[in-house]
Amino acid sequence: MDTVDLTVGDGEFFTLLGPSGSGKTTTLRIIAGFEQPDAGRVTLGGEDITNEPPYSRDVNTVFQDYALFPHMTVADNVGYGLKVKGVSRAERKRQVEEVLRMVRLDGYGERKPIQLSGGQRQRVALARSIVNRPKVLLLDEPLGALDLKLRQEMQVFLKSLQRELGMTFLYVTHDQEEALTMSDHVAVFNEGKIEQVGSPNDVYEQPATEFVAGFVGTSNILERDGKRFSVRPERIELNGTGHPGVVADVVFVGAFRRIFVDIDSGDRITVVRPNDGTTIEPGTRVHVHWRDEDAYEIQSPDTHEQEVR
Amino acid sequence: MAAGLDPAQGLSGPRRGARRRFGGALWRRPWLKGLSLLGPPSVAFIAVYIAALAALFVSSFWSVNAFTGVTVHTWSLNNFRELWHGATYHTVALRTISIAAAVTVTDAIIAFPFAYFMARLAGPRTRALLFVLVLLPLWASYLARVYAWRLILDHDGILNWSLQKVGLPAANIAYTNTAVWIVFSYIWLPFMILPVYAALERIPHSYIEASRDLGAKGGRTLRSVIIPLALPGVVAGSIFTFSLTLGDYITPILVGGSSSQFIGNVVYDTVNQSSNLPFAAAYATVPLAVMGAYLLIARRLGAFEAL
């Protein structure tokens, strides 16, 4: 991994987004204390915790495979952190019940993890971490193993839970949609470096690099007068008065259609149009048009590099 | 075109047809596949092993005519009555079970850290080397290994020679129950290390990270997460060490003393010296019963869920 400099604000939902192998999980593991950085510091609330072992850091992790202890009941799993800290049995029981209610698993305390569905296990893992009231909750692709519908429900649930608790969530994912839906801020990782940090809106509307433009949503990268621009496919209109071209292919995606246009100047442009019932055949001559403000200039890799350092 | 797709066309005769039908039947009925795999060994198992045990058990209710030496096929509990009232038989049985238990505990204590290192800390090459070290003694003859221990423990053996060199008094372990305990612990150790290793190796690393993440230090993680999850492996290993010690009679002869007789030795002598096969059979059911009880407890502890 290269140098990474990140500051996460108190009570934020902060997402580390990037393809696999981009260093986002390693960053999370360094914060949790499972891995040691070769250089640099980790601070939590102004306190240097770089040399603290995982058990004395005020952070908790929701693991990708949940890592629930199979020989303990749900209640024992959730109460583990409290028990280790020496919280009394009665108080432990109260807090475990409260947090199980919070993740909508009241009455499941006596079950074993193996008797639960994937989504329920996921919520037990969540409960086991938040019951300790950590300063930061680290989530390592926690929704990765769930199916799409459940994942979307959990996204909404996680976001509302985070708001309710006012807890800082540091969330790792490779799913750009997940990052955009839930986060206050997103850091886009690529090859062990951070490409851009910003709000979901910033990252989407003003991608700092070509990588960000391509990874967060899809983008048309166009070169004009030696400068490079990114234009989002949904901002492009057909039959306008702009660049003439030919429809090369049309892909049906349900709610919308993806139309590929070869414009006469040589570029292939991707256009996304809502499915309004009309049809368009490949081979049709069209004009593609976008407003000037929708073409966002992106920096060349060299200038970007200098700026991050 | 249509003819080429006809399944019957591709066959070159009735034999292939029969084979194909058999294959199809196997594919449609998984139990048939299981039966054809397990059938032959099960028959051998039942015929040889179970039948022999049953014969042993049945013969324990017979007796031998003291004058003619002929087996009397009348049912009686006399053998068991004699066992019940014979103090020597109690002592020998108790000694056998106690030493088997001591060997099991010793092996568990030695094997756990060793297996833990192999499973969780060693690199692939160190691990392979340790595997060889664990398995290597098993390739040598049992007798050779026990005799080697005689050389070590003998009154003028390597142990006493070393003790003398550093100025310590001689340890008179040779031909005692202590020697039996040490040699058994050594001989059966691999049978404890391997299942414990397998159990430890199966614990996902994330469980240990999760425990540490939730505030538990090493000792706590060991007690609350690692040992409970490795326990089935320890119990599985203990079944080996316990039953192997329980049934042995060679080591007590070679390294034990006059009061180191095991159940096996008494059984052996009863067969060879007094030719009282029914009584030997009755005494041989004692370790069987002990082992049966032990397996029931082991099942309660979940030892077989890990197999």
Residue A84 contacts B, CB cutoff 8 Å = yes
Residue A306, pLDDT above cutoff 50:
no
Report the b/e string of A186-215 with b at 16+ CB within 10 A: bbbbbebbbbbbbebeebbbbbbbbbbbeb
Nearest Cβ partner for A71 among B204, B215, B229: B229
Q: Mapping DSSP to helix (H, G, I), strand (E, B) and coil, where does residue A296 land?
A: strand
Q: Do B213 and A54 touch (CB under 8 A)?
A: yes
Please report the pLDDT score of residue B19 as a whole number: 80
Mean pLDDT of B247-253: 91
Nearest Cβ partner for A81 among B204, B214, B217: B214
Q: How far is B164 from chain A (nearest CA, A)?
A: 48
Q: How far is B218 from chain A (nearest CA, A)?
A: 9
Q: Do A84 and B220 touch (CB under 8 A)?
A: yes
ipTM of the complex: 0.84
Please report the pLDDT score of residue B12 as a whole number: 56
**Which residues of chain B from 228 to 247 reach within 8 Å of chain A, CB to CB?**
228-229
Residue A32, pLDDT above cutoff 90:
yes
Residue B51 contacts A, CB cutoff 8 Å = no
Query: What letter represents residue B5's amino acid?
Result: L
Nearest Cβ partner for B206 among A53, A63, A85: A63
Residue of chain B whose Cα is closest to the Cα of A68: B207
Write the pLDDT tens digit of every residue in A201-214. Answer: 999 988 888 899 88
Mean pLDDT of A161-171: 93
The residue assigned the tokens 């914060």 is A31
What does each C-alpha distance from B137 to A120, B21, B149, B191, B246 come to in angstroms?
49, 49, 13, 11, 21
**Least confident range of A26-40, A184-198, B32-46, B147-161:** B32-46
pLDDT band at A305 (very low <50, low <70, confident <90, very high): very low
Residue of chain A whose Cα is closest to the Cα of B221: A84
Please report the pLDDT score of residue A301 as a whole number: 58
Please report the pLDDT score of residue A7 as a whole number: 87
User: Cα(A154)–Cα(A146) distance, rounded to whole angstroms?
Assistant: 9
The residue assigned the tokens 């430890």 is B200
Q: Mapping DSSP to helix (H, G, I), strand (E, B) and coil, where does residue A298 land?
A: strand
Residue B44, pLDDT above cutoff 50:
yes
Q: Mapping DSSP to helix (H, G, I), strand (E, B) and coil, where does residue A274 land?
A: strand
Mean pLDDT of B232-261: 90
Residue B215 contacts A, CB cutoff 8 Å = yes
A116: phi then psi, degrees, rounded to nearest 5: -110, 160
Please give the residue that has the higher pLDDT: either A2 or A286: A286
User: Cα(B64)–Cα(A192) distance, rounded to whole angstroms?
Assistant: 84
Residues contacting B257, CB < 8 A, separation 6+: B175, B176, B177, B179
**Which residues of chain A from 109 to 148 reach within 8 Å of chain B, CB to CB?**
128-129, 132
Residue B213 contacts A, CB cutoff 8 Å = yes
Please report the pLDDT score of residue A308 as a whole number: 39
Mean pLDDT of A247-268: 89
Q: How far is B281 from chain A (nearest CA, A)?
A: 42
Domain B84-306: CATH superfamily, name plus number: MetI-like (1.10.3720.10)
pLDDT band at B29 (very low <50, low <70, confident <90, very high): confident
The residue among A131, A93, A125, A89 whose CA lies nearest residue A110 is A93
Q: What share of chain A is helix, strand, coil (3-state, %, to 5)?
A: 35, 30, 40
For residue A54, the chain B residues in CB contact (below 8 A) are 209, 212-213
Please report the pLDDT score of residue B13 as a whole number: 60
Question: Structural domains in chain A?
Answer: 13-205 (3.40.50.300), 218-302 (2.40.50.140)
Q: Do A69 and B207 touch (CB under 8 A)?
A: yes
Query: What letter represents residue A165's amino acid?
Result: L
Q: How far is B307 from chain A (nearest CA, A)?
A: 16
Mean pLDDT of B70-82: 80
The percentage of chain B sitting over the pLDDT mark of 70, rounded to a whole number, equals: 93
Mutate to test the interface with B, among A30, A56, A61 (most CBs of B within 10 A): A61
Q: How far is A85 from chain B (nearest CA, A)?
A: 7
User: Cα(B301)–Cα(B82) distance, rounded to whole angstroms?
Assistant: 35
Please report the pLDDT score of residue B71 as a whole number: 76
Q: Where are the domains of chain B?
A: 13-59, 84-306
Q: Do B229 and A55 touch (CB under 8 A)?
A: no
pLDDT band at B1 (very low <50, low <70, confident <90, very high): very low
User: Cα(B94)–Cα(A107) distance, rounded to whole angstroms?
Assistant: 49
Positive or negative CA dihedral for A148, A151, A156, A159?
A: negative
Q: CA A41, A172, A271, A275: dihedral to nearest 10 degrees?
A: -150
**Which residues of chain A from 54 to 83 reach within 8 Å of chain B, CB to CB?**
54-56, 59-61, 63-65, 67-71, 80-81
User: Cα(B275)–Cα(B261) distance, rounded to whole angstroms?
Assistant: 18
Residue A129, pLDDT above cutoff 50:
yes
Residue B244 in contact with residue B185, Cβ under 8 Å?
A: no
Q: How far is B205 from chain A (nearest CA, A)?
A: 9
For residue B206, the chain A residues in CB contact (below 8 A) are 63-65, 67
Report the b/e string of B164-173 with b at 16+ CB within 10 A: eeeeeeeeeb
Please report the pLDDT score of residue B292 as a whole number: 92
Write the pLDDT tens digit of every residue in A68-126. Answer: 999 999 999 999 999 999 999 999 999 999 999 999 999 999 999 999 999 999 999 99
Q: Write down the pTM of the prediction.
A: 0.80
Please report the pLDDT score of residue B14 as a whole number: 65
The percentage of chain A sitting over the pLDDT mark of 90, rounded to a whole number, equals: 55
Residue of chain B whose Cα is closest to the Cα of A60: B213
Mutate to test the interface with A, among B202, B207, B209, B213 (most CBs of A within 10 A): B213
pLDDT band at B3 (very low <50, low <70, confident <90, very high): very low
What does each C-alpha distance from B81 to B84, B86, B227 come to in angstroms?
5, 9, 43
Count other Cβ atoms within 10 Å, centred on residue B229.
20
What does each C-alpha distance from B233 to B12, B111, B135 come to in angstroms?
53, 11, 18
Task: Give pairs for B78-86: CB < 8 Å, separation 24+.
Answer: B79/B278, B79/B279, B79/B281, B79/B282, B79/B283, B80/B282, B82/B279, B83/B282, B83/B283, B83/B286
